[in-house]
Amino acid sequence: MQQFKTESKKLLDLMINSIYTNKEIFLRELISNASDAVDKLNFKSLSDSSIQLGNDDLAIRVSFDKDARTLTVSDNGIGMTAEDLEENLGTIAHSGSQEFKRENAEHQGGDVDIIGQFGVGFYSAFMVASKVRVVSRAFGEDTAHVWESDGLEGYTIEPGERAEHGTDVILTIRENVAGENGEPGENYDTYLSEWGLKDLIKRYSNYVRYPVQMMVTKSREKERPADAGDDYKPEYEDYEELETINSMTPIWKKRSSDVSEEDYNEFYKSTFHDFEDPARTVSFHAEGTLEYDALLYIPSRAPFDLYSKDYEKGLALYSSNVLIMEKCADLLPDYYNFVRGVVDSQDISLNISRETLQHDRQLKAIAKRVEKRVTSELEKMRDDDRETYEKFFENFGRGLKFGIYSSYGMKADELADLLLFWSARGNKMVTLAEYAAAMPEGQKAIYYAAGDDRERLAKMPVVKGVLDRGYDVLLLTADVDEFTFQAMRGYTAKHMPKVYED
Ligand code: ADP
Ligand code: MG
């Protein structure tokens, strides 16, 4: 048996027990490796005309055997020689993929999308497996090799059999662990179930660019016998079918001119679990030092828990089509907490667990741009489609006001023009700018009255008095309104100088 190299034993222990907070990501890591292996072969075939590949043949296959407690991730990618196995799997923190990327950097015509970079993802398999067996045959070689390890001491490499080039990573899944002292246990059996695996593939690897396939059990109606009478009850039978689980092309990477509104809406509804179409969809691609794609949605209605403390804001963060974080809160300011969507950047620096981001400078830059785009979309909605905007404001206006109030007015420049207030004279919602524009010569103040009930406010003698002088009065009925107005003083002084003239 070969011992793991260098300080690997310690490192491996650290890996398995502390780097990842979430065991289930092992599947994402293995599928990402399989995708990289397929990508490398695909890339090779592009630059070497002697390699003939039907693009449809390239695939990743996930299968399991409940009785043997094995889970297998197979690919028909580039495979590994005995030396590769030694170098890539025998040395922790050695990334063959990173090397590949470096070596081929000059011809990277955009058609390689290698995910690996740290050389540790593979070992996450030991979080759920007591043994890992890798059977691999490198492209162009006649023999296969088997790498095997329990993840503790070392590994063995022996000659083996594989019909074609590619790799099988076979995990022996650990036994369930019962919970103790109120602590939850560990249910490893999920990784030996069709729904459990399907769920993980869809969640983390849905947009991996090659098909991830699995045999799934389906049910169909048996053929109706010819002599079936009126009281015939249809019978059903189970059958197995190879299904592609992931949807592959990430909609946010497509040009928006190539995507129908319906497709955008469908993606929104299925991804963010809403049954109504979004009010607005914004998609953009950023280039420059930090390249990324963003797809943002402004929902039509507020989720039921928006104003509860359990509500989590955030955008989904992907790197090279692989999910890193379901809700990255740093990408959205609190007052835009209702925005849903996706940011995908190959450039964002991740640390080895991929779960902690390294540079929040990059995130901040993205967040800033996201905020700007949301603001300008809301302004457009306010100006071009007032009816929809009023509905939007009814749902989410409270958050915008809160943004001004809780920033002590610092966010007023950004948000004040998005606010709507009830105009007693116009009997409708107006912006502050509209209020100011309608002010007659000589009006020196913004008049507002705050209370619980709009009708009652409108009937108050003071309000009537002001209206009689030809001035409009804003009727404020929301709890944050008055505070918001106070916090906006600086803003109104700057933008509505008329109000403050002597
Ligand atoms: P990373 O993917 O970040 O490079 P991993 O620990 O996930 O690190 O994998 C280490 C290396 O092992 C990869 O860089 C790659 O060279 C090799 N490897 C892993 N899985 C496969 C596979 N299915 N086919 C070919 N090579 C693989
Ligand atoms: Mg990897």
pLDDT in the model for residue 85: 96
* Distance from C-alpha of 497 to C-alpha of 445, rounded to nearest angstrom: 10
- Rounded distance from Cα 216 to ligand 1 centre (Å): 27
Specify whether the CB–CB gap between 410 and 316 falls below 8 A: no
DSSP string, 267-284: HHHHHHT-SS--SEEEEE
How confident is the prediction along the chain (502 residues), in pLDDT tens digits per residue?
887 765 566 777 776 777 787 899 999 999 999 999 999 998 888 778 788 776 668 899 999 999 999 999 999 999 999 999 999 998 877 888 888 888 887 665 556 778 888 788 899 999 999 999 999 999 999 999 999 999 888 899 999 999 999 999 999 999 999 988 888 889 999 999 999 999 999 999 999 999 999 999 999 999 988 888 888 999 999 999 999 999 998 999 999 999 999 999 999 998 998 989 999 999 999 998 889 999 999 999 998 888 888 899 999 999 888 888 889 999 999 999 999 999 999 888 776 667 666 667 888 999 999 999 999 999 999 999 999 999 999 999 999 999 998 888 888 888 999 999 999 999 999 999 999 899 998 888 889 999 999 999 999 999 999 999 999 999 999 888 988 988 888 887 777 655 544 3
- Rounded distance from Cα 88 to ligand 1 centre (Å): 6
pTM: 0.83
DSSP one-letter code for 395: H
Which atom of ligand 1 is the closest one to the Cα of 169?
23
- Rounded distance from Cα 33 to ligand 1 centre (Å): 5
Which atom of ligand 1 is the closest one to the Cα of 121?
7
Q: Which domains does the chain have, with CATH numbers?
A: 2-219 (3.30.565.10), 251-384 (3.30.230.80), 408-487 (3.40.50.11260)
- Pick the closest to residue 362 from 341, 342, 348, 373 (CA basis): 348
Ligand nearest to the CA of 90: 1
To test the pocket of ligand 1, the residue of 33, 74, 86, 149 to mutate (highest count of ligand atoms within 8 Å of its CB) is 33
Closest protein CA for atom 8 of ligand 1 = 119
- Rounded distance from Cα 395 to ligand 1 centre (Å): 47
Ligand nearest to the CA of 94: 1
pLDDT in the model for residue 262: 93
pLDDT in the model for residue 501: 43
- Pick the closest to residue 127 from 221, 31, 20, 44 (CA basis): 20
DSSP one-letter code for 251: G
DSSP string, 417-447: GG--EEETTTTEEE-HHHHHHTPPTT--S-E
Specify whether the CB–CB gap between 295 and 285 falls below 8 A: no
- Rounded distance from Cα 121 to ligand 1 centre (Å): 8
Neighbours of ion ligand 2 (CB under 5 A): 33, 116, 121
- Rounded distance from Cα 93 to ligand 1 centre (Å): 10
- Rounded distance from Cα 136 to ligand 1 centre (Å): 12
In angstroms, how far is the first alpha carbon of the chain from the final one?
A: 90
* Distance from C-alpha of 283 to C-alpha of 89, rounded to nearest angstrom: 40
Residues lining ligand 1, Cβ inside 6 A: 29, 33-34, 37, 75, 77-78, 80, 88-89, 95-98, 116-122, 167
* Distance from C-alpha of 12 to C-alpha of 251, rounded to nearest angstrom: 37
